[in-house]
Structure 1
């Protein structure tokens, strides 16, 4: 035979013991009611601020003066904290208040916690403290253009600690913990402050070994005897051949890539001819890893852009990085 549960007590989540309703989570393992309440949530932080002031001064009136509130407001908030914790924190004496044993125990913990928070806030607000800058860039420009230059930025700004993330995911400054993003396109990017890095140029590149040892490349039409390294969803080769005065031609082989950096790595290894952004191959051209078989180049409406949140684009460390990267791009072009 099963026990019948009083509907009223069941609706409240407890049982009747000796005519008194006891909450289900306030019973001991032996079935007896537990003393006190079980806290599931931290009381509001402001209650601890009021409690700390009252504990330090031993007076609700003096605490009220410090907090710029009324003595009644302090008394009510202390009572609210006592109700939430189900303990007496102060003994109310005729001209002062005095901490109880429980109050003393809480006062030291609250004082230490508030001091820790204050020191953390001071460190964050200190203009001399190290600043952290998170830059999220496309893998291609991150590895081939930005990394060789970042050391220069850090030397100019030793107080800034840079974190570089390589990603092609959509940018959402409200959801992602990033300060600056570098993306390819022409925009517009909704709710984003966007600045072009400059008008980029595209031209064919290959490894010096392929140029020296492969089928001769004397005129643009000779490129057809080599493997074409092609960025997926790009029609720039057709535009370049048109600018070079060559009609449509067929290549022996074509390799497609979804990442420009990987495509250029293939070109460095002598796998074929790639049509490259000047920004992405500037370092490779200077070091001789890649060469330009022809000087003809084209420009496009698309380009690399520096994206920042409109709300934080003028934050000192972000504004300094924007200024620096624009200057670096200007020197590259």
Structure 2
């Protein structure tokens, strides 16, 4: 038989550690689900009612009926599950919760007003996004952009180089430059410059290569052309030497690369005034013949019909149209 004693199971001593109790896991704190934001128009109605302390006066400001204001305030209260106003006989007063919400809503409305004022302020800096094919962007537009920014210092231009199809509804583009026949749906289209073509080559090729005294002499040189289509046949026909067979032809997917090859003396290319302008002025390219042909296509400036008269866009359209006429 076990003897029972009065001695404690864990006698207290100066050195013994107290008994270790098993840890009891704490219940995880309840995670509050984020409150779904009520429709923003309800906050606009609430802001007016809070400022005026009167549903009727708020209704006059918002151009709605007093019952519409009362109904929307009640809808906001039901969504938030709090009372925002105390209804008095001739006025309303904010509750504690209503006062806290009114402060936050007032600050938010003020931020929105200031943001809208900055956007529409004609003196505020404006970012204009211009999209152009790489060849015309680098060879014609970039050398001119500084002049535009000096004329319009409040307009900051972002230039994107691309030949992709333009869709103003889906792309963040203000102005686009494209080559074609002038037909682009859902765009305002203005001609920048007609596409006239003429042969160009490097001065070294003209001096050191086979003679280029007559159009027929081109057959002794490498022909440079873009893969999307060539107008060499039309130019040769206009020169009265159609049907020539060339020994070598180099193809490029970009007109700018083709002109780079011409500058390096790799052959003779057909170029337009806009693309060859800087190289001709600098003497990197020369025109062995004066004969030009028109392709029926042109470079065009495209803008959104909805925003083409926006001040910054309208200024750019006017400026680039002048530059195109000067170059053409």
TM-score range, shorter chain: 0.7 to 0.9
Query: Following TM superposition, by how much is the alpha carbon of 1:94 offset from its aligned partner in structure 2, in angstroms?
Result: 4.5
Question: CA-to-partner distance for each residue in 1:141-180, whole Å, 9 max, x for gaps?
Answer: 1111111111111111112121211111111112212122
In structure 2, runs of 5+ residues without a counterpart are 1-26
Of stretches 130-139 and 97-106 in structure 1, the one that deviates more from structure 2 is 97-106
1:280 counterpart residue number: 275
Query: Following TM superposition, by how much is the alpha carbon of 1:31 offset from its aligned partner in structure 2, in angstroms?
Result: 11
Q: Per the alignment, in what secondary structure is the counterpart of residue 115 of structure 1?
A: helix
2:12 counterpart residue number: none
- Aligned: 1:63 with 2:58: yes
Q: Tell me, in whole angstroms, the C-alpha distance in 2 between the residues paired with 1:88 and 1:285.
A: 77
Check whether the contact 2:198–2:272 (CA below 8 A) recurs between aligned residues: yes
In structure 1, runs of 5+ residues without a counterpart are 1-28
1:81 counterpart residue number: 76
Q: How does 1:1-333 map to 2 (within 5 A)?
A: 39-40=35-36, 42-333=37-328
Q: Tell me, in whole angstroms, the C-alpha distance in 1 between the residues paired with 2:35 and 2:28.
A: 21
Question: CA-to-partner distance for each residue in 1:9-58, whole Å, 9 max, x for gaps?
Answer: xxxxxxxxxxxxxxxxxxxx8799x99x8533x22222111111222233
Q: Per the alignment, in what secondary structure is the counterpart of residue 331 of structure 1?
A: helix
Of stretches 92-101 and 149-158 in structure 1, the one that deviates more from structure 2 is 92-101
- Cα distance change on mapping 1:97 and 1:103 into 2, 3 Å: same
Q: Tell me, in whole angstroms, the C-alpha distance in 1 between the residues paired with 2:199 and 2:308.
A: 36
Query: Following TM superposition, by how much is the alpha carbon of 1:67 offset from its aligned partner in structure 2, in angstroms?
Result: 2.8
Query: Following TM superposition, by how much is the alpha carbon of 1:107 offset from its aligned partner in structure 2, in angstroms?
Result: 1.5
Q: Tell me, in whole angstroms, the C-alpha distance in 2 between the residues paired with 1:109 and 1:270.
A: 69
Q: Alignment length, in residue pairs?
A: 302
Q: Tell me, in whole angstroms, the C-alpha distance in 2 between the residues paired with 1:49 and 1:57.
A: 13
Q: Per the alignment, in what secondary structure is the counterpart of residue 191 of structure 1?
A: coil
Q: Tell me, in whole angstroms, the C-alpha distance in 1 between the residues paired with 2:127 and 2:29.
A: 55
Q: Which TM-score applies when normalising by structure 2? A: 0.85
Q: Tell me, in whole angstroms, the C-alpha distance in 2 between the residues paired with 1:302 and 1:187.
A: 7
Check whether the contact 2:199–2:268 (CA below 8 A) recurs between aligned residues: yes
RMSD of aligned Cα (Å): 2.2
2:18 counterpart residue number: none
Q: Which TM-score applies when normalising by structure 1? A: 0.83
Q: After TM superposition, what 4+ stretches of structure 1 lie above 4 angstroms from structure 2? A: 29-32
- Cα distance change on mapping 1:65 and 1:193 into 2, 3 Å: closer
Q: Tell me, in whole angstroms, the C-alpha distance in 1 between the residues paired with 2:28 and 2:325.
A: 78
Query: Following TM superposition, by how much is the alpha carbon of 1:294 offset from its aligned partner in structure 2, in angstroms?
Result: 1.6
Query: Following TM superposition, by how much is the alpha carbon of 1:83 offset from its aligned partner in structure 2, in angstroms?
Result: 0.9
